[in-house]
Amino acid sequence: MITIKDISKRFGKLQALDKVNLQLHASECIALIGPNGCGKTTLIKIILGMVRPDAGTVLFKGKDVRNEDAYRRQIGYMPQIGRYPEHMTVGQILDMIKGIRSDETALDLELYDQFGMEELLQKKMRTLSGGTTQKVSAVLAFLFRPQVLILDEPTAGLDPVAADLLKEKIIKERNAGRLILITSHILSELEDLVSHVVFLQEGKLMLHKSALALKSDTGANSLAQSIVHLLKNVAT
Ligand SMILES: Nc1ncnc2c1ncn2[C@@H]1O[C@H](COP(=O)(O)OP(=O)(O)OP(=O)(O)O)[C@@H](O)[C@H]1O
């Protein structure tokens, strides 16, 4: 569904991404992992058209995304830190985004209900805790039933109950055939979610493998263990 071809990006002297190639398909849940600053968020933002690559192309369902905006409607994005107009209420934010979309899709209100958004509608964004702001971001990412979900550290700041609800939702959407790209430093939480692992280091693609192959190659019992194995081997 998404093809990343020879993508490179520099910020001044820093090579944030170096000729990255990837093919991502429907029904996959891909963990995008790697050390701080390895280029994960930059890659996500290039897929979303928020950052322009210096070289290379992104294809969405075979079409080059350059100069094309419509594909973004098919992607739900949950940023690492959601930034919203501070003076607006949760209800106003939701109404505004529904208004911008104005399409006929029946909304997915599952997380809206589970996260108790109804009780928060009158609250101004600036009064929300970090975790509650994350809940608003999660609700928005899933609301329009996108075919692709890009979740950047989605459970960071969520309480354990909310994190569990979000994980259940991710599994449900993966099973319904969506493509899910997720970054997380909490390896144990990827265990039940992930079908494939993409590992970046210093902007380079070091590995793209199925979770099953990774476990059998490393002889580890869990995905978390095999990723630790991988990180240690790369570090030495
Ligand atoms: N707009 C920018 N201007 C300058 N440098 C940038 C910019 N955006 C990212 N970088 C740099 O590019 C590198 C990759 O950043 P990126 O945010 O993609 O890393 P990451 O893998 O998502 O890190 P983390 O795990 O900490 O979230 C970092 O060194 C970062 O400082």
- Ligand 1 pocket, mutate which of 38, 51, 231 (most atoms under 8 A from CB): 38
Which of 25-29, 136-140, 191-195 shows the lowest per-residue confidence on average (mean pLDDT)? 191-195
Instruction: Judge whether residue 21 has pLDDT over 80.
Output: yes
- Ligand 1 pocket, mutate which of 8, 11, 78 (most atoms under 8 A from CB): 11
- The pLDDT score that the predictor gives to residue 190 is 84
- The pLDDT score that the predictor gives to residue 236 is 53
- The pLDDT score that the predictor gives to residue 235 is 57
Taking the centre of ligand 1 as the mean of its atom positions, its distance from the CA of residue 36, in whole angstroms, is: 8
- The pLDDT score that the predictor gives to residue 234 is 65
Residues in the chain: 236
Q: Which atom of ligand 1 is nearest to the CA of 39?
A: 18
Mean pLDDT estimate for the chain: 91
Residue 153 belongs to a domain with what CATH number?
A: 3.40.50.300
- The pLDDT score that the predictor gives to residue 198 is 95
- Nearest residue by C-alpha to atom 9 in ligand 1: 42
Taking the centre of ligand 1 as the mean of its atom positions, its distance from the CA of residue 181, in whole angstroms, is: 18
Number of domains in the chain: 1
**pLDDT tens by residue, 135-146:** 999 999 999 999
Closest C-alpha among 228, 202, 230 to residue 42: 202
Q: Which atom of ligand 1 is nearest to the CA of 45?
A: 18
210-to-5, 34, 58 alpha-carbon distances in Å? 20, 16, 22
Distance CA 209, CA 117 (A): 37
- Nearest residue by C-alpha to atom 12 in ligand 1: 16
Average pLDDT value for residue range 214-232: 84
Q: What is the DSSP string of the chain?
A: -EEEEEEEEEETTEEEEEEEEEEE-TT-EEEEE-STTSSHHHHHHHHTTSS--SEEEEEETTEE-TT--GGGGGEEEE-SS----TTSBHHHHHHHHHHHH---PPP--HHHHHTTGGGGTTSBGGGS-HHHHHHHHHHHHHHT--SEEEEESTTTT--HHHHHHHHHHHHHHHHTT-EEEEE-S-GGGGTTT-SEEEEEETTEEEEEEEHHHHHHHHT-SSHHHHHHHHHHHHH-
Q: Which atom of ligand 1 is nearest to the CA of 203?
A: 14
Instruction: Judge whether residue 187 has pLDDT over 90.
Output: no
- The pLDDT score that the predictor gives to residue 218 is 87
- Nearest residue by C-alpha to atom 10 in ligand 1: 11
Q: How many CB atoms lie within 10 A of CB 57?
A: 13
Taking the centre of ligand 1 as the mean of its atom positions, its distance from the CA of residue 116, in whole angstroms, is: 33
Ligand 1 binding pocket (C-beta < 6 A) is 11, 14, 16, 34, 36-42
Domain span including residue 208: 2-235
Average pLDDT value for residue range 98-112: 85
Secondary structure, 3-state, 16-45: EEEEEEEEECCCCEEEEECCCCCCHHHHHH
Q: What confidence tier does 106 reach under pLDDT thresholds 50, 70, 90?
A: confident
Average pLDDT value for residue range 37-48: 94
Average pLDDT value for residue range 173-178: 95
- Ligand 1 pocket, mutate which of 41, 80, 205 (most atoms under 8 A from CB): 41
Q: Which atom of ligand 1 is nearest to the CA of 185?
A: 25
- The pLDDT score that the predictor gives to residue 100 is 83
Percentage of the residues of the chain whose pLDDT score is greater than 90: 74
**Predicted-complex ipTM score:** 0.96
